[in-house]
Amino acid sequence: MEVFKTIASKQKQVIKLKSGLILFIILLSYKGFSQKGTVINIESAHNAIALQADTGNRLGVIYFGTKLNNPAEYANIPATTKRQGSDYSGIFHSAYTPAGSRNLVEPAIQVTHADGNTSLDLQYVSHNIKKIDNNISLTSVLLKDPVYPFEVTLYYKVYQKEDVVEQWSVIRHKEKGNVMLQKFASANLFFSANQYWLRQYHGDWAREMQPEETRLTPGIKVLDSKLGTRENLYQPPSFMVSFNSPATEDEGKVLLGSVEWSGNFRVDLEVDPLNNLRLIAGMNNFASEYSLKPSEEFTTPAFLYTYSVNGKGLASRNLHDWARQYKILNGKGSRMTLLNNWESTFFDFNEPILSALLKDTKKLGVDVFLLDDGWFGNKYPRNNDNAGLGDWQENRKKLPNGLGYLVKEAQKNGVKFGIWVEPEMVNPKSELYENHRDWVIREPNRTEHLYRNQLVLDLSNPKVQDFVVGIFDTLFIKNPGLAFIKWDCNAVIYNAHSAYQQKQSHLYIDYVRGLYKVMERVRAKYPKVPMMLCSGGGGRVDYGALKYFTEFWVSDNTDPLERIFMQYEYSYFFPSIAHDNHVTDWGKQPIKFRTDVAMMGKLGFDIVVNKLDENDLKFCQQAVVNYKAVSDEVWHGDLYRLLSPRENDLASLMYINKDQSKAVMFNYLVNNRYAAGSLLPIKLKGLRADRKYSVKEINLYPSTKSTLAESAVYSGNYLMTIGFNPNVNARRTSVILEINEDK
């Protein structure tokens, strides 16, 4: 462990000794001219952030970009503010901008001290670099207010190989009473380029991940959520910023970022008066003033980012490697294919219907049957979305022999059994609501406003946390054979009021903290069972929650044409092993197209198997077998986006395993206009130029023949320079190719 300590008071002594110079130094530092302090290099395999304290000990970001060969040279980098002109306050480039003293721009932190004073200054005290293992290091930097006993530690966790950084802060004080925190960012970054291009996302139910790419202009652009739960519904916490011009797959400087928080988040992107970009990210401070007791620690969630000078493709591959290795539960493992009953039955099922579906699960050849919404509630049976939510006892009419019977039936059929829950929400028409109205987030003096006929339980209350953990305990104790959980979350928080909280402004933050406590406890007891993170479609997709989940539901919109676009954008931030894609009856495309699209992630089905005609059934059964043959590449391989559906008649993507010996390429027609198709060969990527590869079409519909030569062999060099035409056209709207090294 390397330890560096620079004591601010020592520097003060030096300054006193050179008293003749004091005025000069103060003047220079006021203009942000003087960078005298220790340089802190935070380096990954290719990138670096350099921090430096000025003569007033204010810590600034003096560099963000490609790592220098000689670390000693970071000290020569002039502060960006100096390069671009004067910023008056000298702290536009602050590594954690405090509000209320000399700052003139958007703060990272804003507080009211115990005595009512609203000023904050933060000065560098010391830093520490800890090597966690061969790949991970943790740099912490201590900042203190020179007047108040108030301090912040900034953390930078660096994953060398993946060029990923997770950044967060810990705030504490020893004042005589509580300090009110009004803003509390996780990270405050600073970039210097000619132009900044933001790719952000917006959406709604069934319209997740709609991208917009625009140039950032002077002023502040805020990405945020105030929905309390399912933050992704309107705006996901993931985005990218390109520097100088919009990055392409293989060219350009780009940062991919995401806030690891499953509630209200906020990202400020401020182009300052000197044309630098200030990025401040973390939990949203909206309606969330937080009262911090003396000696208590306030830890923010992490903001994670990766930076690439070789375009979005590399950045996302690095992020995928990181996510599989360090974040998503069992990210390097395998996933189970499944049959879900939601769209085939909705709430209308009973034991014989489900027993038949278990047989269909086997017939289809998938691993798990997933029983969705509608299996519970007796006083208020869950026969529609109006009632029963919160009453987690099997409905005796629908399931007279309980879930246990179905779990056993599944075993008899040689498949596994999974179950849907929505543990955070309640229908007013439920016994839970009748008995525990104080557990519900609601304004006692106002009309209740429902979202999908639901309200949200107050997870900031430990009793409610116990209740939710209890739902899982009951399920697993009674049915140890349960093999899969779908955790849904449909409602947003209206009328944000808690009967439990002393201070209402703590609710939004403590809700998510409570949620994580529950997930932590569930995972401690049931560490391995695969869980799908679902939220009325893809309403909650973030790395704060994915730590506890093996996968997420991308969207209720399973129209494959729409999915191609959504999956494409999600794929920048989340590896395909985590994308749950189901074949359903949405859309007008044939079953082959629907299945081919769903195969580009974790494959599932939500169709009426016994209504499939002979060929469709045969195709699906064979597709499950084919999927198993290429799923290793889809789950663990490197993803190359070859053609974007937004710019071409077709989308083309390929996954290649790490030793570059096997790949699978997905091609889909996304335009129905006359003669639309793959008019030119598509250049493959990621192969070894010096190796030979065979290319063959897989997943053909029964009794159709490929128009491609069977198992033609080409060099990697040829496939990457000239390319290969999958012959996509109106008669062949989706084509999957398997590419194998020819030894």
Burial of 9 by CB count in 10 Å (0-12 exposed, 13-18 middle, 19+ buried)? exposed
Beta strands in 584-661 (DSSP E): 602-605, 638-643, 650-656
Is residue 536 near ligand DGJ by the rule CB under 6 A?
Answer: yes
Q: Pick from 171, 302, 534, 682 the residue near ligand DGJ by CB under 6 A.
A: 534
Stretch that binds ligand DGJ, among 179-187, 394-402, 529-537, 568-576 (CB under 6 A): 529-537
The residue number whose beta carbon is nearest to ligand DGJ equals 373
Minimum CB distance to ligand DGJ smaller for 317 or for 382? 382
Stretch that binds ligand DGJ, among 79-87, 428-436, 533-541, 623-631 (CB under 6 A): 533-541
Minimum CB distance to ligand DGJ smaller for 267 or for 609? 609
Residue 576 Cα distances to 316, 435, 638, 687, angstroms: 11, 42, 10, 19
Integer Cα distance of 164 and 306 in angstroms:
5
The distance between the two most distant Cα atoms of the chain, rounded to a whole number of Å, is 93
- Phi then psi for residue 162, to 5 deg, are -90, -5
Minimum CB distance to ligand DGJ smaller for 367 or for 372? 372
Rounded to the nearest whole angstrom, what is the least distance from the CB of residue 346 to ligand DGJ in the complex? Answer: 8
Beta strands in 424-519 (DSSP E): 425-426, 455-456, 482-487
Minimum CB distance to ligand DGJ smaller for 272 or for 556? 556
Integer Cα distance of 550 and 579 in angstroms:
9
Rounded to the nearest whole angstrom, what is the least distance from the CB of residue 483 to ligand DGJ in the complex? Answer: 17
Stretch that binds ligand DGJ, among 32-40, 65-73, 233-241, 534-542 (CB under 6 A): 534-542
Tokens found for residue 266: 């906020």
Contact indicator for 341, 349 with CB cutoff of 8 Å: yes
SS3 at position 579: strand
Rounded to the nearest whole angstrom, what is the least distance from the CB of residue 682 to ligand DGJ in the complex? Answer: 34
Minimum CB distance to ligand DGJ smaller for 276 or for 557? 557
Burial of 593 by CB count in 10 Å (0-12 exposed, 13-18 middle, 19+ buried)? buried
Is residue 372 near ligand DGJ by the rule CB under 6 A?
Answer: yes
Rounded to the nearest whole angstrom, what is the least distance from the CB of residue 382 to ligand DGJ in the complex? Answer: 9
Minimum CB distance to ligand DGJ smaller for 420 or for 543? 420
Minimum CB distance to ligand DGJ smaller for 383 or for 671? 383
Contact indicator for 340, 372 with CB cutoff of 8 Å: yes
Rounded to the nearest whole angstrom, what is the least distance from the CB of residue 201 to ligand DGJ in the complex? Answer: 18
Q: Pick from 162, 175, 367, 488 the residue near ligand DGJ by CB under 6 A.
A: 488
- Phi then psi for residue 621, to 5 deg, are -60, -45
Minimum CB distance to ligand DGJ smaller for 385 or for 742? 385
Interface mask toward ligand DGJ for 330-369; x: CB under 6 A: ------------x---------------------------
DSSP assignment of 76-130 = GSPPHHHHH---SSS-TTBSSPBSSSS--S--SEEEE-TTS------EEEEEEEE
- Paired sense of beta strands 482-487 and 531-533, if any: parallel
Rounded to the nearest whole angstrom, what is the least distance from the CB of residue 563 to ligand DGJ in the complex? Answer: 14
Is residue 373 near ligand DGJ by the rule CB under 6 A?
Answer: yes
Minimum CB distance to ligand DGJ smaller for 158 or for 492? 492
Integer Cα distance of 678 and 101 in angstroms:
60
Rounded to the nearest whole angstrom, what is the least distance from the CB of residue 424 to ligand DGJ in the complex? Answer: 13
The enclosing H or E element of 565 equals helix 560-573
Integer Cα distance of 591 and 587 in angstroms:
10
Edge-to-edge strand order for the sheet containing 109-112? Answer: 109-112, 179-184, 290-292
Three-state SS string over 270-282 comes to: EECCCCEEEEEEE
The enclosing H or E element of 628 equals helix 614-636
Q: Under 8 Å CB-to-CB from 646, ≥6 apart: which residues? A: 211, 565, 568
Rounded to the nearest whole angstrom, what is the least distance from the CB of residue 341 to ligand DGJ in the complex? Answer: 10
Query: 293 to 322, contacts with ligand DGJ by CB under 6 A?
Result: none
Query: 664 to 693, contacts with ligand DGJ by CB under 6 A?
Result: none
Integer Cα distance of 552 and 542 in angstroms:
9
Minimum CB distance to ligand DGJ smaller for 203 or for 536? 536
Q: Pick from 556, 559, 596, 738 the residue near ligand DGJ by CB under 6 A.
A: 556
Integer Cα distance of 651 and 596 in angstroms:
12
Stretch that binds ligand DGJ, among 127-135, 509-517, 531-539, 647-655 (CB under 6 A): 531-539
Minimum CB distance to ligand DGJ smaller for 488 or for 649? 488
Stretch that binds ligand DGJ, among 56-64, 190-198, 436-444, 530-538 (CB under 6 A): 530-538
Query: 417 to 446, contacts with ligand DGJ by CB under 6 A?
Result: 420
Minimum CB distance to ligand DGJ smaller for 321 or for 372? 372
Q: How far apart are the first and last CA of the chain?
A: 46
Rounded to the nearest whole angstrom, what is the least distance from the CB of residue 490 to ligand DGJ in the complex? Answer: 6
Q: Pick from 553, 593, 666, 693 the residue near ligand DGJ by CB under 6 A.
A: 553
Rounded to the nearest whole angstrom, what is the least distance from the CB of residue 452 to ligand DGJ in the complex? Answer: 8
Contact footprint for ligand DGJ (CB under 6 A):
342, 372-373, 420, 488, 490, 534, 536-537, 553, 556
